[in-house]
Amino acid sequence: MELRQLRYFAAVSRHRHFGRAALDLRVAQPALSRQIAKLEGELGVRLLDRHARGVSLTAEGEVLLARAEALLAEAEALATEARPQSGDPQGTVTLGFSPSIAELFGGRFAALSLRRFPRVRLRIMTAASPMLEAWIHEGRVDIAILNGPTDPSRFLLTPLLEEPVCLIGLHDDPRLARAAVEPAALADIPLVLTGPPDGPMQRVLVAAQAQAGQAFTVLAQVDTAAVGRQLALAGVGPMVDVAAVARAEVTAGRLAAVPIAGLKIQRYMARAKGRAGSDAVARLASLMRDCVGEMVSDGAWLNARSLVQA
């Protein structure tokens, strides 16, 4: 059994298709099929069920995939540590951020990256977390910041920070004149919700709604925190999000951000499992972790608590 075979098997499992996996790996499809067949022969089990529209994992394939991804991740980490660190990394690294993270973090990180690694070219793509997850799997994004909770079995995850979910509205709104808002109290407040219905922020709120046993009134649903912020400033109604998305307005006293008791969201740096990254990707991943830690320390990431391990 070779690491190459495991990498091929992980790619086919990820794409559920030999042709798409071959394109991702940049190998001929017949060669890919031979390596998978050889791996199945060596193990004496069938790992994949072939059918007209692609492949699916057998029970034995599911077991091997979990172990293979762990081994490939360890091999990638060893390779990264063994690479020479003296030379300047170069190449293009594609980053994936949600619109609010891009607005808050993208400029500071890009400026820091340019100073530290001038030969690395950045490409920044923005989308909600569910789409970013798909882009990581497809190889379109090298590093992303995902909003949790998310599935640790699917990605190489580095915890970055935790933020309380807040009710954000006009600073003189009497409903915000308290240290925290209980989830049950939200039933009496028409809300502006941000992000996609299947996004992490919505999932956290739905869980709170179920726990409170009350239905919340949705005044408006908007795709981005920037639009939600404009509605809150116009007095349409308070939005549900983290304080950092309205840092400038909160600092200036135009908006207030009050934590909703017990509701938190985590941010993770995510990379694909089983896919070796370039030296540039590894170095930027380390820089991203450090940059987030600095922003939490100096208060630029409002109300956040760092989860970065020293």
Q: Is 70 inside any structural domain? A: yes
Reported as a single tens digit per residue, the pLDDT across 224-275 is: 999 999 999 999 999 999 999 999 999 999 999 999 999 999 999 999 876 6
CATH code of the domain covering residue 199 = 3.40.190.290
Co-location of 49 and 16 in the same domain: yes
Positive or negative, the CA dihedral 299, 244, 124, 233 is negative
- Neighbouring residues of 269: CB distance < 8 A, sequence distance ≥ 6: 143, 144, 145, 146, 157, 158, 160, 285, 288, 289, 292
Q: CA separation (Å) from 282 to 8, 83, 133?
A: 22, 10, 19
- State the total domains in the chain: 3
Reported as a single tens digit per residue, the pLDDT across 251-264 is: 999 999 999 999 99
Co-location of 279 and 139 in the same domain: yes
The whole-angstrom separation of Cα 102 and Cα 106 is 4
Residue 83 confidence (pLDDT) above 60: no
pLDDT given for residue 2 in this prediction: 85
Residue 215 confidence (pLDDT) above 90: no
pLDDT given for residue 209 in this prediction: 83
Residue 303 confidence (pLDDT) above 90: yes
Co-location of 257 and 185 in the same domain: yes
Co-location of 167 and 177 in the same domain: yes
Burial category of 39 from C-beta neighbours within 10 Å (exposed 0-12, middle 13-18, buried 19 and up): buried
Reported as a single tens digit per residue, the pLDDT across 174-200 is: 999 999 999 988 888 999 999 888 777
β pairing state of 239-242 and 191-194: parallel
pLDDT given for residue 147 in this prediction: 85
Q: Are 269 and 158 in contact (CB under 8 A)?
A: yes
Reported as a single tens digit per residue, the pLDDT across 19-50 is: 999 998 889 999 999 999 999 999 999 999 99
Q: Which two tokens stand for residue 182?
A: 């209980």
pLDDT given for residue 82 in this prediction: 58
CB atoms within 10 A of CB 126: 17
Give the model's confidence band at 87: pLDDT under 50 very low, under 70 low, under 90 confident, else very high: low
pLDDT given for residue 3 in this prediction: 86
Annotate the chain with three-state secondary structure. CCHHHHHHHHHHHHHCCHHHHHHHHCCCHHHHHHHHHHHHHHHCCCCEEEECCEEEECHHHHHHHHHHHHHHHHHHHHHHHHCCCCCCCCEEEEEEECHHHHHHHHHHHHHHHHHHCCCEEEEEEECCHHHHHHHHHHCCCCEEEEECCCCCCCEEEEEEEEEEEEEEEECCCHHHCCCCECHHHHHHCCEEEECCCCCHHHHHHHHHHHHHCCCCCEEEEECCHHHHHHHHHCCCCCEEEEHHHHHHHHHCCCEEEEEEEEEEEEEEEEEECCCCCCHHHHHHHHHHHHHHHHHHHCCCCCCCEECCCC
Residue 283 confidence (pLDDT) above 60: yes
Give the model's confidence band at 168: pLDDT under 50 very low, under 70 low, under 90 confident, else very high: very high
Owning domain of residue 197: 162-265
Co-location of 172 and 213 in the same domain: yes
Co-location of 253 and 230 in the same domain: yes
Residue 79 confidence (pLDDT) above 70: no
Co-location of 219 and 229 in the same domain: yes
